[in-house]
Amino acid sequence: MKNRDRRFTLLLLIPVILVLVAYVLYPSLRTLIESFHHKGGWNLKNYETFFGTESRSNLRALWNSVYISLLSVLFSALIGVPLAFIFNKYEFPGRSFFSSAAILPIVLPSLVGVMAFMFLYGESGLVPNAIKDLLGLKHVPFKIGGVSGILIVHAYTMYVYFYMTVSSTIRSIDPSLEEAAYNLGAGRFTVFRKVTLPLLTPAIVGASLLVFMTSMASFSAPFLLAGGFRVLSLQIYFSKVNGNLQMAAAQSVILSVVSISFLLFMRWYQNRRDYRMATKGIGAHRSEIKNPFLKGSMVILGVLGVIILLLPHATILILSLVPDGTWTYQTYPSVFNIENYLFLFTEPKIWDPVRNSLILAFLATLGNLVFGVLTSYVLVKRKFYGKNMLDIMVMLPWALPATVVGMNLILAFNEPSPFTFGNILVGTFWILPLAYFIRHIPLVVRSTNASLEQLDDSLEEAARNLGAGWFYLFRRVVLPLVMPGIMAGTLLAFVEAVGEFPTSVLLYTLSNRPISIEIMNQLRMFNMGQAAAYGMIQISLIGLVLFISNKFFGIKAERSL
Amino acid sequence: MSSVLLENITKSFKDYQAVKELNLEVKKGEFFTFLGPSGCGKTTTLRMIAGFYYPTTGRVLFGDRDMTRVVPEKRNTGMVFQNYALFPHMTVFENVAFGLKVRRLGSAEIKKKVEQSLKKVRLEAFIGRQVSQLSGGQQQRVALARSLVIEPEILLLDEPLSNLDARLRDEMRTEILRLQRDYGITTIYVTHDQVEALSMSDRIAVFNFGECQQVGTPKEIYNEPANDFVAAFIGETNLIPVIWDGKGGETLQFSWEENKNKKVVAETLFSSYERDHHLSVSIRPEAVEVFDEEPLNLQNVYEGNVELAQFTGASVNLFISLGEKTVQALILNNQTRREPQPGDKVWVRFPESHVRVIPRVMNQPARSMST
Residues with Cβ < 8 Å from A273, sequence gap 6 or more? A202
Contact between B99 and A466 using a beta-carbon 8 Å cutoff: yes
For A140-158, give the secondary structure using H, E and C.
CCCCCCHHHHHHHHHHHHH
**Would you list the DSSP string of B264-290?**
EEE-SPPS---TT--EEEEE-GGG-EE
- Residue B88 has φ and ψ, to the nearest 5°, of -70, -20
Q: Is B52 on the interface with A (CB under 8 A)?
A: yes
Q: What is the pLDDT of residue A164?
A: 86
Indicate the domain borders of chain B.
4-223, 228-359
- With a cut of 70, which residues of chain A have pLDDT below it? 1-2, 272-285, 287, 328-331, 553-561
Domains, chain A, ordered by start: 1-35+330-561 (1.10.3720.10), 55-236+283-320 (1.10.3720.10)
Q: In which element (H, E) is residue B114 found?
A: helix B107-120
Q: Which of A161, A200, A157 is nearest to A178 (CA)?
A: A200
Q: What is the pLDDT of residue B274?
A: 59
Q: HSE on the CB side for B265, CA within 13 Å?
A: 14
**Which amino acid is residue A21, in one-letter code?**
V
Contact between B102 and A466 using a beta-carbon 8 Å cutoff: yes
Q: What is the pLDDT of residue A203?
A: 84
Residues with Cβ < 8 Å from A398, sequence gap 6 or more? A263, A441, A442, A443
pLDDT bucket at B371, cuts 50 / 70 / 90: very low
Which of B53, B73, B79, B86 should one mutate to test binding to chain A, selecting the residue with the greatest count of A CBs within 10 A? B73
In whole angstroms, give the CA distance from residue B322 to residue B306. 9
Q: In which element (H, E) is residue B155 found?
A: strand B154-158
In whole angstroms, give the CA distance from residue A253 to residue A29. 10
Q: How big is the A-B interface in CB pairs under 8 Å?
A: 69
Contact between A466 and B150 using a beta-carbon 8 Å cutoff: yes
Q: What is the pLDDT of residue A478?
A: 92
The answer to whether B90 touches B143, Cβ cutoff 8 Å, is no
Which of A1, A2, A461, A465 should one mutate to test binding to chain B, selecting the residue with the greatest count of B CBs within 10 A? A465
Measured between beta carbons, the chain A residues lying within 8 angstroms of B82 are 458
Contact between A458 and B102 using a beta-carbon 8 Å cutoff: no
The answer to whether A492 touches A544, Cβ cutoff 8 Å, is no
ipTM above 0.85, yes or no: no
Q: Residue B4, exposed/middle/buried by CB under 10 A (0-12, 13-18, 19+)?
A: buried
The total number of residues shown for chain A amounts to: 561
SS3 B62: strand
Select B228-359's CATH number: 1.10.3720.10, 3.40.50.620, 2.40.50.100, 1.10.10.10: 2.40.50.100
Other beta carbons within 10 Å of A327: 17
- Residue B3 has φ and ψ, to the nearest 5°, of -85, 165
**B172 vs A4, residue with greater confidence:** B172
Name the residue in chain A with its Cα closest to that of B151.
Answer: A466
The answer to whether B344 touches B310, Cβ cutoff 8 Å, is no
Contact between B77 and A465 using a beta-carbon 8 Å cutoff: yes
Measured between beta carbons, the chain A residues lying within 8 angstroms of B71 are 1, 4, 464
Q: What is the pLDDT of residue A556?
A: 52
Which of A458, A466, A483 should one mutate to test binding to chain B, selecting the residue with the greatest count of B CBs within 10 A? A466
Contact between B50 and A465 using a beta-carbon 8 Å cutoff: yes
Measured between beta carbons, the chain B residues lying within 8 angstroms of A2 are 54
User: What pairs with residue B59 in β-bridges?
Assistant: B7
Measured between beta carbons, the chain A residues lying within 8 angstroms of B102 are 466-469, 472
- Measured in angstroms, the CA of A461 and the nearest CA of chain B are apart by 7
In whole angstroms, give the CA distance from residue A317 to residue A206. 34
In whole angstroms, give the CA distance from residue B67 to residue B50. 10
- CATH architecture assignment, domain B4-223: 3-Layer(aba) Sandwich (3.40)
Bridge-based pairing of strands B57-62 and B65-66 is antiparallel
Contact between B73 and A465 using a beta-carbon 8 Å cutoff: yes
Mean pLDDT of chain B: 88
Residues with Cβ < 8 Å from B352, sequence gap 6 or more? B251, B265, B266, B267, B299, B300
Helices A387-399 & A348-381 angle (0-180, nearest 10): 160
Q: What is the pLDDT of residue B205?
A: 95
Residues with Cβ < 8 Å from B251, sequence gap 6 or more? B265, B266, B267, B352
Contact between A4 and B89 using a beta-carbon 8 Å cutoff: no
For A419-476, give the secondary structure using H, E and C.
HHCCCCCCCCCCHHHHHHHHHCHHHHHHHHHHHHHHCCHHHHHHHHHCCCCHHHHHHH
The answer to whether A160 touches A103, Cβ cutoff 8 Å, is yes
Q: Which of A341, A372, A396, A336 is nearest to A487 (CA)?
A: A372
- Residue A40 has φ and ψ, to the nearest 5°, of 80, -5
**Would you list the DSSP string of A183-207?**
HTT--HHHHIIIIIHHHHHHHHHHH
Contact between B73 and A462 using a beta-carbon 8 Å cutoff: no
Q: What is the pLDDT of residue A183?
A: 81
Q: Which of B125, B4, A473 is nearest to B141 (CA)?
A: B125
Name the residue in chain A with its Cα closest to that of B70.
Answer: A1
Q: Is B99 on the interface with A (CB under 8 A)?
A: yes
Q: What angle do CA B349, B352, B357 make, to 5 degrees?
A: 110
Contact between A466 and B52 using a beta-carbon 8 Å cutoff: no
Q: What is the pLDDT of residue B368?
A: 40
Q: Residue A292, exposed/middle/buried by CB under 10 A (0-12, 13-18, 19+)?
A: exposed
Q: What share of chain A is helix, strand, coil (3-state, %, to 5)?
A: 75, 0, 25
In whole angstroms, give the CA distance from residue B160 to residue B179. 14
Residues with Cβ < 8 Å from A514, sequence gap 6 or more? A353, A356, A357, A360, A432, A498, A500, A504, A508
Name the residue in chain B with its Cα closest to that of A458.
Answer: B85
**Contacts from A14-18 at CB under 8 Å and sequence distance 24+?**
A15/A371, A15/A374, A16/A371, A16/A374, A16/A375, A16/A378, A16/A390, A17/A390
The total number of residues shown for chain B amounts to: 371
A6 vs A10, A382, B45, CA distance in Å? 6, 9, 21
Q: What is the pLDDT of residue A275?
A: 54
Contact between B98 and A461 using a beta-carbon 8 Å cutoff: no
